[in-house]
Structure 1
Amino acid sequence: MAQVLAQLYEHGSPQSLALVVLLFLVAMRLAMPRSRAEKLLSKLPSPPFRLPVIGHLHLVGPLPHRSLRDLARWHGPDVMLLRLGTVPTLVVSSPRAAKAVLRTHDHVFASRPRSAVADVLFYGSTDVAFAPYGEYWRQTRKVVTTHLLTPRKVRCSRAAREQEVRLALARVRDAAAARTAVDLSELFSFFANDVVCQAVTGRLPREQGRNKLFRDLLETNAKLLGGFNLDDYFPSLAGLNVVSAKAVKHRKRWDNLLDSLIDKHVRKTVTDEHEEDFIDVLLSVQQEYSLTRDNIKAILMDMFEAGTDTTYIALDFAMAELMRNPKTMAKLQAEVRRCAGKGKEIVTEEDLSSMSYLKAVMKESMRLHAPGPLLIPHFSMAECDVEGYTIPSGTRVILNVWALGRDPTCWESAEEFMPERFMEEAMDAASDLQGNDFRLLPFGSGRRMCPGINFTTATFETILANLIYHFNWEIPPGTTGIDMTESYGMDVHRKEKLLVVPCVAQDV
């Protein structure tokens, strides 16, 4: 049976996989008595179109954040139970319910459900993002936040960010001189990855010709983690190792890269002229926190993945929206050029502090296009009450932050790109990205909130302000507009490349 499942995983559909295991799972289900947890779950609102074995999987389309939003409108709207395979999953789609999960009962929902792919990729889920709640997770998060992602540490990496900005601007100037389009999706991706690599490893991937390798590794991570993984929906089949072969093969590629980076740092002498980077920090605290080499590799992979993809996706969507809204683009250009002044080689991070409209553009882009629209699932560790329902221990929880950001009962003109809503005089001026406004949670909230918000904000604002300051932008001739079609993996990004034509601004 394992061989058949492996072949179907490689070539078949989720429906065909489910049909193969139909008799096996039905027999198991019939043999099990109804538990207290099942009785509690049966009281939750749930779509009626539940099929044997696969449950509600057939209702979840290729863009799950949209499917779940539509289902919640009919069967929620605050909380809704889906049976995804044999896994009961609570879907949270309102700010009120999100606050109950992420603040009122944060201590209950602070863990993660087991993920077979994450276990393989992250060495037993010993990274920060997927590690179960407990002492190990607390210690590793402390290392990451203290030694890489505090506001002071982010400020210390400013010089590296600004050097990367100079290199990106040079590339765009070459395209402007030739009057050719530049692929901003690629530029943003490599820019974000180079900034992260500099902070984490003290080196740049392009110096060893590794840009393409990094991009390929990160893209495959997203596909494996965001794809249909049989073990995640049918845990009773986990022992068959249907999905692990691909993940194991991919992790070996990470092993080769990460081991070489760590080995270079281990061999480094005290006289080497090299500022302390995050790998140095991890090695220096390895004994204190009882970290194995595999633990270090898992944490490093986390930093590369989260630091690159979140920033690049946010930048890509923001620039796409600006191209679709010329008046908004003009307003942002006016602010950036006014605040920075004339004759700047680059817009520095000191200049950014007074750019309130730039910050509003980032918030609005994150509201409409949260890079991780469903975040990473949470997992309940005890019974608790949410919106009048008792949620049993062991329930998987998905927070649809994409739906929160587009809820028409919470936002005026919810589907429109309107940064003005976050300006000082506007109703939503007090909203921030720090997890305090439960309508706006691109980084999550509570114990499991993404710790990289300061790093992402600095990287986002620095490159976007400079591209807006130095260039005017046009859609390539013959192009009708910007395609906003989404592609779903672990994160959601635009399907098509962002090709735009730069023109050097003459009045700056």
Structure 2
Amino acid sequence: MEMIIISLSLTTILALLLLNRLLKRPATKPNLPPSPWRLPVIGNLHQLSLHPHRSLRSLSFRYGPLMLLHFGRVPVLVLSSSDVAHDLMKTHDFKLANRPQLKVVENILNGGRDVAFSPYGEYWRHIKSVCVIHLLSKKMVQSFEKVREEEISLMMERVAKASSSTSPLNLSELLITLTSDVTSKVSLGRKHSKEESISDFKNQVRTIMELVGGFPVGEYIPCLAWIDKIRGLDDKVKQVNEKFGGLMDKVVQEHVEADKPTHDLVDIMLSLETQNKNGIEVRRSDIKFIILDMFLGGTATTYALLEWIMTELIRHPECMKKLQEEIRGEATTFKLYRSQEDVEDMKYLKAVIKEVLRLHPPLPLLVPRLLTEDVKLRGCDIAAGTQVIVNAWAIQRDTVTWGIDAEEFRPERHLNSSLDFRGTSFELIPFGSGRRMCPGIGFALALVEVTLANLVNRFNWRMDVRFSGDEYDLAETTGLDVCRKFPLIVFPSPA
């Protein structure tokens, strides 16, 4: 009798467990995007190289332009064609407007309360609006023309000095000095690059970009966070916080103690501290990292773009000659300085910039996004909480769009093209698209166009043969942005 009772009890328990499992099972199994085989615990992390935009593109050749990976237990959707990017970013822009909350961002950028990584919502809309109105709008960008002219002229004097002595010139150092000085003057009130060596400054900027753009193991597998500590990532984060945190503290304090406000971005941000608009609180710590965000955005990506432009033009002398003819041929007499007004109608100059943005987007994987709701994409089910990576680098080298010469530098392809890089043409999205598109396009391009016109107008350029060749010229750094791995060493000569 006891055996019968025990048997009935076990049968009942098993039946209840089975019923519970059946009830929990979804009516239909989700149709997931193609996905490479993954290892236990680490998932697909082992398939990322030092240059993730390249390894993800290679994986997409096998698994398609809509691909699901797993970094640890975190699902990551990778988009590698303009069609799928359009379908997700255009149709589901609102659901895709958030950012993943990354530990590195939390440690470096105050929990992501800056413009680039802040969660989508009222706070983000408020601080973005302030930055656009007082720094990045077309009206404000035009008002900074005198600052650009002063700093470009200083750079040109250094180039002229090198050209007269026929000595090699580290153009990379000049370009990062230029971009940081212009950004410092218009957003922070004054230049800060002279307070430390420019090589150290460049290294610190690179360290931030490497940390924010990396895929640390501890981010996706918390139990393995000790690996990042051994690799020195924690020490790098601490060093960056001390370096740039100290600089931003100094900038804010200078503005607080100033007898007379300069009415730059820092002063505007400090005025928000005493307000509580619509219940939105902007703290002193927020201000520090918002201006750091503007400073890094205006420096790192603009510098990388200028560096790649000069690299490609020197590598392609026929394009350099064509651009020089356009710039020098616009005036009846030689002009020492070419202004923003001078470059307005230079079609080939703009085509050169577009081609470099295509081949060398400053942020190859853009900034990651986070789905806040489930979506259906091309018959596939994508769950809320999935991180989304848009491989702009792969999209802009797609032979389906750009032809068999997609890997080649050919500015002429843009002369009669309607494709634009301001977020409406998904074949060319170096600045992203939609709500989280980069708001600083106009700020960056105004400096890039005039700088390029002046460098090419006044000088002829060649590389040191000891520091040239595909492997050297096109070698990339790692990180959120991708610039040259090695400095651009050149010999300028008077035109």
Common topology (TM > 0.5) = yes
Instruction: Structure 1: state its 5+ residue gaps.
Output: 1-32
2:457 pairs with 1:469: yes
Give the 5 Å matches for 1:462-501: 462-478=450-466, 481=469, 483-501=473-491
Find the residue that maps to 2:95 and give its secondary structure.
coil
**What's the CA shift string for 1:463-493, capped at 9, x where partnerless?**
1110000001122255553621112112111
> 2:425 corresponds to which letter in structure 1?
D
**What's the CA shift string for 1:430-453, capped at 9, x where partnerless?**
111101110101100000000010
Deviation at 1:248, TM superposition (A): 3.5
In structure 2, how many angstroms separate the alpha carbons of the residues matched to 1:241 and 1:478? 37
Give the 5 Å matches for 1:47-446: 47-48=36-37, 50-77=38-65, 79-209=66-196, 211-212=198-199, 214-235=201-222, 244=234, 246-270=236-260, 275-288=262-275, 289=277, 290-412=281-403, 413-423=405-415, 426=416, 429-446=417-434
Change (3 A) 1:56 1:183: same
Do 1:205 and 1:211's aligned partners in 2 also have CA atoms closer than 8 Å?
no
Change (3 A) 1:100 1:457: same
Do 2:193 and 2:201's aligned partners in 1 also have CA atoms closer than 8 Å?
no
Find the residue that maps to 2:111 and give its secondary structure.
coil
Find the residue that maps to 1:435 and give its secondary structure.
coil
In structure 2, how many angstroms separate the alpha carbons of the residues matched to 1:287 and 1:346? 44
Q: Which residue of 2 aligns with 1:457?
A: 445
Count how many residue pairs are aligned between Structure 1 and Structure 2.
463
In structure 2, how many angstroms separate the alpha carbons of the residues matched to 1:442 and 1:95? 12
Find the residue that maps to 2:349 and give its secondary structure.
helix
In structure 2, how many angstroms separate the alpha carbons of the residues matched to 1:335 and 1:94? 34
In structure 1, how many angstroms separate the alpha carbons of the residues matched to 2:303 and 2:468? 24
Find the residue that maps to 1:140 and give its secondary structure.
helix
In structure 1, how many angstroms separate the alpha carbons of the residues matched to 2:215 and 2:476? 17
Aligned with residue 44 of structure 1, among 33, 51, 74: 33
CA radius of gyration, larger in: 2
Find the residue that maps to 2:105 and give its secondary structure.
helix
In structure 2, how many angstroms separate the alpha carbons of the residues matched to 1:277 and 1:339? 35
Q: Which residue of 1 aligns with 2:15?
A: none
Do 1:116 and 1:238's aligned partners in 2 also have CA atoms closer than 8 Å?
no
Find the residue that maps to 1:91 and give its secondary structure.
strand
In structure 1, how many angstroms separate the alpha carbons of the residues matched to 2:168 and 2:27? 57
**What's the CA shift string for 1:53-108, capped at 9, x where partnerless?**
1111121111110111111111012x100111221100001111111222110000
Deviation at 1:227, TM superposition (A): 3.1
Provide TM-score, normalisation by structure 1: 0.87
In structure 2, how many angstroms separate the alpha carbons of the residues matched to 1:193 and 1:34? 56
**What's the CA shift string for 1:109-139, capped at 9, x where partnerless?**
1101111010011111100111111111111
> 2:420 corresponds to which letter in structure 1?
D
C-alpha root-mean-square deviation of aligned residues, in Å? Answer: 2.3
Change (3 A) 1:340 1:386: farther
Do 1:116 and 1:244's aligned partners in 2 also have CA atoms closer than 8 Å?
no
* Amino-acid identity (%): 41
In structure 2, how many angstroms separate the alpha carbons of the residues matched to 1:326 and 1:119? 45
